[in-house]
């Protein structure tokens, strides 16, 4: 939880004296009738006008207001209803009007205090609050001989776009040499203010709320963070220190300097948090900045065991904050992608803002006004930490990009999304990627065949090549089978399925693909691709689609869902954050079709191309595939294993540059790690 002195959108170090800046254009309301109540502060956009010494009203306004009051008083004397003693009203009016409009020397002259001291105090009062606008209205005045007491109502726009700080103040007056003077003390500015105290606005930022796994545990592990800051009172040249920080990080120096100048002198002021990678890049420059302090801390903020789902979090130097028009602020965080971005408002909460009186050492003496904030609300996901960590472990040591997505076959909830990236190579995106699945798609084309009454015991040759629709198809990787369809499926024989496509109508394949959920309008709280299959325009394209090339595009999530359908017989919309997305589960295929698919996928693992995934324990079911990554990808291919074990359905995709590689070993490693309980 970060607690900062805030001035409008910035924190600031209060001046030693009670006081603030001169004010811009405001309504001169101090001349209202005796007993008048406070008016609201001028409605100005934050940052457009501040208390900065403007002179919006001429002295003629003040003179006319005072003259009118004097005329009323003389009339009262003539009619016998007013005392002949000089009234304190004109002095109260003049003092409040001068103060409100920033004529501090003139206001000070109306008091019993030392003019320079009073002017500085009045000038500094609202500057310490970062006031964007103020309005002061005269209230009730009581007069007894040579003494009087006046009330006023003040409304201070703190520059946050919320409600102004409204309070009632008062002060005493006495006659000095025939003239009324305001009896000066700091309490004239705000009730209870006394020498050695100053006004400040404190913002208490709640810590960013967590993204949680399915059991309610944080997805973010406690990890190293470098916190960069200063002890303001130790800075020999604050501007030089801030300029050095800004040059290294891209922060706006003027905004940072405002916080440094106005922060408590003896407390550590956090200015920036960096990940180890960012610190490695910037650390050399930062260590050369004079009086800059760098602390190593551990917090749950910048890492996640499921970062493709969680996304990333930016801290104070994030360019996204500047793009959103959010001024610099210590402790600020912003979701840059994933669920962190989707649920930014819910996770970040709102700060508690307090107008306080504090000592010069920064100790809060009194809270004058509080606007309670709200803590961020955690977001619970469907991620299963055990499954996620197993997927992370399986791909962590690879030399090529890969992704693993796992879903529950009983609920459709996403259990894990793991991605491994390699610099300079394409990213394998588990949720939003659009890839050809190769022969892994024969799960879908086989369902289409079975729906037409096809007999899986039929003998279908698996030759090295086959011409369909004038196009030659070959097996990649090269394979052989015993000539039965069961063997063809187990060995992922592309030439056999190209031949079998001749017995399918386009609607058969499209209907089967829809049964597995391709193209259905489900949505996640992060970017995801639901898959697509365009109607084939000829027999050659039909053959391409049957073997998962041509116009077929899927994500690893889509194929994990396909495996889920085979295991359970039910299509369910995927879920990442409960409640469910609203689509109704369906049973797209009959029991015979589902049972036949299960038997074929079992054979692939026990005696076919997926045998490397046969890790023991509960039976593993699956299908392999290989397809080009796409044009201009230098011969890169996506290797697939799509399957399930128990109630976990999953898809594994790995990038390679060879036609002889398989994703089955990676699937086996994932299952071994899952069984080991990592």
CA distance 244 to 257: 11
Q: Is the pLDDT of residue 554 over 70?
A: yes
Q: What local confidence, expressed as pLDDT, does residue 659 receive?
A: 86
Q: What local confidence, expressed as pLDDT, does residue 63 receive?
A: 36
Alpha-carbon torsion (629, 632, 634, 635), positive or negative: positive
Mean of the pLDDT values across residues 23-35?
38
Q: What local confidence, expressed as pLDDT, does residue 464 receive?
A: 92
CA distance 560 to 567: 11
Could you report how far apart the first and last alpha carbons of the chain are, in Å? 32
**Beta strand pairing status for 364-371 and 379-380?**
unpaired
Owner of token pair 């306080």: 356
DSSP symbols for 62-127: HHHHHHHHHHHHHHHHHHTSS-SSPPSHHHHHHHHHHHHHT-HHHHHTTBSS-HHHHHHHHHHHTG
Confidence of residue 59 (pLDDT cuts 50, 70, 90): very low
How is residue 299 written in tokens?
A: 């917090």
- Looking at residue 361, the DSSP 8-state letter turns out to be T
Portion of the chain with pLDDT greater than 70, in percent: 86
Mean of the pLDDT values across residues 240-266?
89
Confidence of residue 29 (pLDDT cuts 50, 70, 90): very low
Q: Is the pLDDT of residue 672 over 80?
A: yes
Q: What local confidence, expressed as pLDDT, does residue 33 receive?
A: 37
Q: What local confidence, expressed as pLDDT, does residue 158 receive?
A: 83
Confidence of residue 187 (pLDDT cuts 50, 70, 90): very high
Q: What local confidence, expressed as pLDDT, does residue 601 receive?
A: 98
Q: Is the pLDDT of residue 66 over 90?
A: no
How is residue 547 written in tokens?
A: 């073997």
Which range (217-231, 251-265, 585-599, 644-658) has the least confidence? 251-265
Which has the higher per-residue pLDDT, 566 or 483? 566
CA distance 326 to 160: 11
How is residue 502 written in tokens?
A: 């001749």
Mean of the pLDDT values across residues 78-103?
81
Mean of the pLDDT values across residues 356-368?
84
3-state secondary structure of 369: strand
**Beta strand pairing status for 211-212 and 379-380?**
parallel
CA distance 572 to 588: 11
Mean of the pLDDT values across residues 669-673?
97
What's the pLDDT tens digit per position in 588-613? Answer: 999 999 999 999 999 999 999 999 99
Q: What local confidence, expressed as pLDDT, does residue 535 receive?
A: 92
Mean of the pLDDT values across residues 300-304?
95
What's the pLDDT tens digit per position in 197-217? Answer: 888 887 778 999 999 999 999
- Looking at residue 327, the DSSP 8-state letter turns out to be P
pTM of the full structure: 0.81
Q: What local confidence, expressed as pLDDT, does residue 514 receive?
A: 97
Contact 407, 650 (CB under 8 A): yes
Q: What local confidence, expressed as pLDDT, does residue 580 receive?
A: 64
Q: What is the mean pLDDT of the chain?
A: 87
Q: Which helix (H) or strand (E) holds 104?
A: helix 104-108
Domains with residue ranges and CATH for the chain: 19-195 (3.10.450.50), 211-377 (3.90.1310), 385-676 (3.40.710.10)
Contact 667, 652 (CB under 8 A): yes
Q: Is the pLDDT of residue 16 over 70?
A: no
Q: What local confidence, expressed as pLDDT, does residue 84 receive?
A: 56
Q: What local confidence, expressed as pLDDT, does residue 161 receive?
A: 63
Q: Which helix (H) or strand (E) holds 592?
A: helix 591-607
> What's the CA dihedral at 295, 297, 299, 302 to 10 degrees?
50
Confidence of residue 1 (pLDDT cuts 50, 70, 90): low
Q: At what angle do helices 539-546 and 506-515 cross, to 10 degrees?
A: 30
């Amino acid at each position: 939880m970060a607690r900062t002195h805030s001035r409008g959108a910035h924190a600031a170090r209060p001046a030693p004296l009670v006081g603030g800046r001169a004010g811009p254009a405001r309504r001169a309301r101090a001349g209202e009738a005796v007993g008048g109540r406070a008016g609201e502060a001028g409605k100005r956009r934050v940052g457009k006008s501040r208390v900065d010494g403007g002179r919006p009203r001429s002295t003629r306004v003040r003179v006319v207001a005072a003259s009118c009051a004097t005329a009323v008083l003389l009339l009262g004397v003539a009619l016998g209803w007013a005392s002949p003693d000089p009234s304190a009203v004109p002095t109260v009016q003049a003092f409040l009007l001068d103060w409100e409009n920033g004529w501090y020397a003139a206001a000070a002259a109306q008091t019993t205090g030392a003019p320079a001291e009073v002017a500085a105090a009045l000038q500094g009062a609202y500057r310490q609050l970062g006031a964007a606008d103020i309005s002061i209205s005269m209230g009730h005045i009581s007069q007894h001989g040579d003494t009087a007491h006046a009330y006023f109502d003040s409304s201070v726009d703190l520059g946050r776009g919320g409600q102004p700080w409204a309070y009632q103040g008062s002060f005493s007056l006495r006659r000095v040499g025939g003239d009324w003077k305001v009896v000066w003390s700091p309490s004239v500015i705000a009730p209870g203010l006394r020498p050695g105290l100053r006004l400040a606005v404190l913002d208490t930022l709640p810590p960013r709320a967590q993204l949680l796994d399915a059991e309610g545990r944080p997805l973010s592990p406690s990890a190293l963070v470098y916190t960069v800051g200063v002890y303001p009172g130790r800075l020999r040249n604050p501007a030089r220190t801030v300029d050095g920080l800004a040059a290294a990080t891209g922060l706006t120096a003027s905004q940072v300097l405002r916080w440094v100048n106005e922060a408590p002198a003896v407390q550590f002021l956090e200015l920036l948090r960096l990940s180890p990678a960012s610190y490695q890049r910037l650390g050399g420059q930062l260590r050369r900045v004079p009086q800059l302090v760098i602390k190593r801390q551990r917090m749950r903020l910048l890492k996640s065991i499921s970062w493709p789902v969680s996304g990333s979090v930016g801290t104070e130097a994030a360019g996204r904050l500047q793009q959103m028009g959010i001024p610099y602020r210590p402790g600020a965080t912003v979701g840059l992608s994933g669920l962190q971005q989707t649920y930014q408002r819910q996770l970040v909460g709102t700060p508690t803002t307090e107008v306080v009186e504090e000592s010069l050492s920064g100790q809060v003496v009194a809270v004058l006004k509080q606007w309670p904030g709200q803590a961020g609300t955690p977001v619970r996901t469907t991620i299963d930490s055990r499954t996620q960590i197993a997927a992370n472990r399986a791909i962590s040591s690879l030399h090529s990009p890969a992704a693993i997505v796992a879903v529950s076959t009983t609920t459709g909830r996403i259990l894990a999304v793991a991605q491994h990236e390699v610099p300079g190579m394409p990213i394998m995106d588990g949720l939003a990627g659009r890839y050809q699945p190769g022969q892994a798609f024969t799960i879908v084309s086989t369902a289409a065949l079975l729906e037409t009454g096809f007999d899986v015991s039929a003998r279908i040759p698996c030759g090295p090549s086959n011409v369909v629709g004038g196009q030659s198809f070959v097996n990649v990787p090269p394979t052989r089978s015993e000539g039965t369809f069961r063997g063809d499926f187990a060995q992922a024989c592309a030439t056999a399925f190209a031949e079998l496509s001749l017995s399918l109508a386009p609607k058969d394949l499209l209907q089967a693909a829809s049964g597995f959920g391709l193209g259905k309008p489900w949505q996640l709280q992060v970017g995801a691709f639901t898959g697509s299959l365009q109607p084939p325009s000829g027999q050659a394209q039909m053959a391409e689609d049957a073997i998962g090339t041509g116009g077929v595009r899927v994500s690893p999530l889509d194929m994990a869902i396909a495996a889920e359908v085979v295991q359970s017989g039910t299509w369910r919309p995927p879920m990442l954050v409960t409640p469910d997305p609203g689509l109704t589960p369906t049973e797209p295929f009959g029991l015979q079709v589902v049972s036949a698919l299960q038997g074929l996928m079992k054979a692939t693992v026990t005696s076919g191309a997926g045998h490397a995934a046969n890790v023991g324990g509960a039976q593993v079911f699956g299908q392999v595939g290989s397809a080009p990554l796409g044009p201009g990808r230098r011969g890169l291919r996506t290797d697939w294993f799509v399957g399930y074990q128990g109630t976990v359905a999953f898809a594994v995709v790995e990038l390679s540059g060879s036609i002889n590689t398989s994703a089955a070993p990676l699937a086996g490693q994932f299952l071994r790690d899952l069984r080991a309980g990592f």
